[in-house]
Amino acid sequence: MTRKNKTGVFTGTMIGLTMAISSVTYADNHPIRISYIEPLSGPFANVGDAGLKHFRFTAEQINKEGGILGRNVEIVAMDNKQSPSESVQLIQRSVDQGINFVTQGNGSNVAGAMVEAVDRNNRRNADNKVLYLNYAAVDPALTNERCSFYHFRFDANSAIKLEALANYMKDQEEINKLFLINQDYSHGQFISNHMKTLIDEKDMDVEVVGDVLHPIAQVRDFAPYVARIQQSGADTVVTGNWGNDLSLLVRAIDSAGLDVDIYTYYGGGLGTPAAIGARGEDKVYQVTEWHADVNVDEGLEEYEQWFVDFKERYPEIDWYYHRVYNQMYMLKDAIEQVGNAEDVDAIAYALEGMQFESPTGTVTMRAKDHQALQPLYISVMDADAKYDADNSGVGFRTVANIPVEQATDETSCNMKRP
């Protein structure tokens, strides 16, 4: 029995000690702080780290220009380990530290949990509200049935990207037979279903000859899938895959010598161009709001300088998230319009419907559902592009500009406003 006694004391002290370590709070209120909640360890750490560099860089630029209302912007990095429940805890930690803004983008499941948590906090904790700025999670539900007044999305959602893609494909005569291959989770399932809907709606002269869902991040060898693509006689593949699932797919298609065009969401995503390399040339397309050579094509000298400065600072990656630029400057405008950085409701109202002149064109934050509408680009991998992505030797070349009116969707959002 004695051992229990001693360890009982020990447990108590241990809990006390470790609690004390974990509850260091920060009193300095001066800078405007934004929690950056992303994986900074584990298998997705590279993605989280790259995003963090984008935010830090932008914050520095803003601070160099005098900050927001004369206050500096500070990015507080928080590691959510790509886990929704960890992210919810980090929102709580942000609230504890008096941070009013959180940003996140990797993983729609994380985003979904964050929207819930932010709403819940703002409902129960009225004097310490949080605004959630989403720079990359594309699940349409976040601006439809699950839309929230405190959530703003700066990336085009999945439905919008697909809409843009369909509008482009409609006019391409050499695209006749589509093969859809996607990851077996809501993102991939959505693409698989919505693409077919769009083909019907737009009465496109395109036939879906194959539709496959594969488990996310588990397939090591795509050769069997490639065999199916080949047997189906498809000329074009559409995929929402990202990370290894995309680079392995492209590699398998290439090494089988299959001649198909691959339309992707994330062909230029971090690490992917490096993993695909030259074999993606004139083969791998992407739908994005921007890519490096847009600066060259459209003579955006100032923004090109921004890109070059970023590269100089972080030679191993490239400026990729144009929407981080949009997001940070739109937030700046909204805070300056309100005159303080604490009244979250007012800042949210200021962001609603805001029109922002981005280097690539006007970005509108649709008031109805807090979805940013912006022109999109369809581009293809090209070794001759002025700027290659992630030092891979291949960059992207624009094949089509999709004007903002062709890159939009209907929303079913029924926003509850305070």
State yes or no: residue 223 binds another protein (CB under 8 A): yes
Extract the tokens encoding 394.
């291949």
Interface positions, 176-205, toward another protein (CB under 8 A): 184-186
- Kindly provide the b/e burial profile for residues 177-211, where b requires at least 16 CB atoms within 10 angstroms of the residue's own CB: bbbbbbbeeebbebbbebbeebbeeeebebebbbb
Minimum CB–partner distance for residue 16 and another protein (Å)? 8
CA 391 to chain centre: 21
Told to check if 163 binds another protein by CB under 8 A, we report: no
Under rule CB under 8 A, residue 257 binds another protein: yes
Query: Virtual CA dihedral for 82, 88, 92, 94, nearest 10 degrees?
Result: 40
| Interface with another protein, residue 217, by CB under 8 A | yes
User: Which region, judged by CB under 8 A, interacts with another protein, from 248-256, 260-268, 293-301, 330-338?
Assistant: 248-256
Which residue's CB is nearer to another protein, number 39 or number 375?
39
Q: How far is the CB of 11 from another protein (least distance, A)?
A: 5
Subset of 58-87 contacting another protein (CB under 8 A): 78-79, 81, 83-86
Does 336 contact another protein by CB under 8 A? no
Single residue of 352, 369, 390, 409 touching another protein by CB under 8 A = 390
Question: How many residues of this chain interact with another protein, rule: CB under 8 A?
Answer: 93
Is residue 23 near another protein by the rule CB under 8 A? yes
The answer to the question of residue 31 lying near another protein (CB under 8 A) is no
Q: Which residue in this structure is represented by tokens 């962001």?
A: 351
Which member of 26, 29, 41, 403 binds another protein (CB under 8 A)?
Answer: 41
Binding-residue pattern over the window 271 to 310 for another protein, x denoting contact by CB under 8 A: x--xx-x---------------------------------
Please give the biggest Cα pair distance in the chain: 83
Element (H, E) at 223: helix 223-232
Region from 30-38, 302-310, 311-319, 395-403 binding another protein, contact rule CB under 8 A? 311-319
Decide if residue 143 touches another protein (CB under 8 A): no
Is 124 an interacting residue with respect to another protein (CB under 8 A)? yes
Return the axis-axis angle of helices 186-201 and 158-169, rounded to nearest 10°. Answer: 40
3-state SS track over 349-393: HHHCCCEEEECCEEEEEECCCCEEECCEEEEEEECCCCCECCCCC
CB of 111 to another protein, least distance (A): 9
Based on the shown chain and the rule CB under 8 A, indicate whether residue 96 belongs to the binding site for another protein: yes
Q: Report which of 137, 385, 173, 202 is spatially closest to residue 284, judged by C-alpha positions.
A: 385
The first and second tokens of residue 181, run together, are 């291959």
DSSP classification of residue 277? G
